[in-house]
Amino acid sequence: MPDNHERLVSLLRPGSASAEASEGFLDLLGEIPQAGPPTGLAQRLMRTSAVPMIYEHYWRPTLGRVAKGLTGPSMEDEVRIALEALALRPGQVALDVACGTGRFTRAFGEAVGPDGLSIGLDGSVTMLEKALAAPSPPSVTYLRADAVDLPLADSTVDAVCCFAALHMFADPNAALDSFARVLKPGGSLVLLTSARHSDQPLRLADTVLGRVSGQRMFDRGEITMKLFRRGFDRVNERYSGVTQIVTGELPVNIRP
Ligand SMILES: C[S@@+](CC[C@H](N)C(=O)[O-])C[C@H]1O[C@@H](n2cnc3c(N)ncnc32)[C@H](O)[C@@H]1O
């Protein structure tokens, strides 16, 4: 089994391979504190020392429940939904974009087995340090880079997951372009992001909440449309509270 770091470097775009391996993860940002242009409070909190400490067990489940509503999926359900959508097989390469503390990255690592690779990508050093501290399957590796402009070469991964982060990025459209670019033909995508209510006054409240926290509120149907425009098919969406989970696949014949 090749070393995970070596394997990861072999998947990077030419020119990125001079990346430094620091503290157990490959770091393409070095001294730059923020991946891409800053977008506000929510993104800033992810770079602190305090939030990553409580993120996985308290922060994410609690805020996730508020956003998804009482009947929305639990954290365990989210992991199951992501695994079902990506249908990972042993030996495949999974990319967990904005992986945070690596809850999903580790689950994908189990699914791809020791011959596969599960890459957790995040811009926050403190999140990645916390991810590294958790016991992980041998296929897991971490990369510090900007999610909006993925450093991987074209058609290199079988599956992309991006949960609870697209609405935080400075340019979500560029991020979606990147996701489609790095996926192999036939590859799968699963996203969990914001979904603004359609009717007032809830719609206005959602908009204000988004502005204050620095998070974009996507309209219902907006993400599915963006995926269709990028060539995805089998696109599906489901809504819970102010969140949506959207899945899609690139056709096997999408590129010559
Ligand atoms: C709310 S957490 C989501 C973590 C995990 N995916 C989950 O569902 O629990 C958002 C993550 O996005 C990361 N992030 C925000 N903007 C980013 C960017 N431009 N590039 C890389 N990571 C980014 C933050 O550091 C943070 O770890």
DSSP string across 122-157: ES-HHHHHHHHHS---TTEEEEE--TTS--BPTT-E
Q: Tell me the three state secondary structure of residue 7.
A: helix
| Ligand 1 atom 10, closest CA | 165
| Ligand 1 atom 24, closest CA | 46
Q: What is the pLDDT of residues 85-139, one digit of tens each?
A: 999 999 999 999 999 999 999 999 999 999 999 999 999 999 999 999 999 999 9
pLDDT at 248: 98
- Confidence check: pLDDT of 161 > 50: yes
CATH architecture type of domain 4-249: 3-Layer(aba) Sandwich (3.40)
- Say if strands 140-144 and 117-122 run parallel, antiparallel, or are unpaired: parallel
* Structure tokens given for 15: 């020119």
Q: Distance from the CA of 256 to the center of ligand 1, in angstroms?
A: 33
Q: Where are the domains of the chain?
A: 4-249
Q: Is the peptide bond before 201 cis (omega within 30 degrees of 0)?
A: yes
Q: Distance from the CA of 122 to the center of ligand 1, in angstroms?
A: 6
pTM of the full structure: 0.94
Q: Distance from the CA of 7 to the center of ligand 1, in angstroms?
A: 23
Least confident piece of the model among 59-63, 163-167, 194-198, 201-205 = 201-205
Q: What is the pLDDT of residues 46-72, one digit of tens each?
A: 889 889 989 899 899 999 999 999 999
pLDDT at 20: 66
Q: Distance from the CA of 56 to the center of ligand 1, in angstroms?
A: 12
Alpha-carbon distance values, 249 to 113, 117, 131, 156, 243 (Å): 22, 20, 28, 15, 20
pLDDT at 169: 94
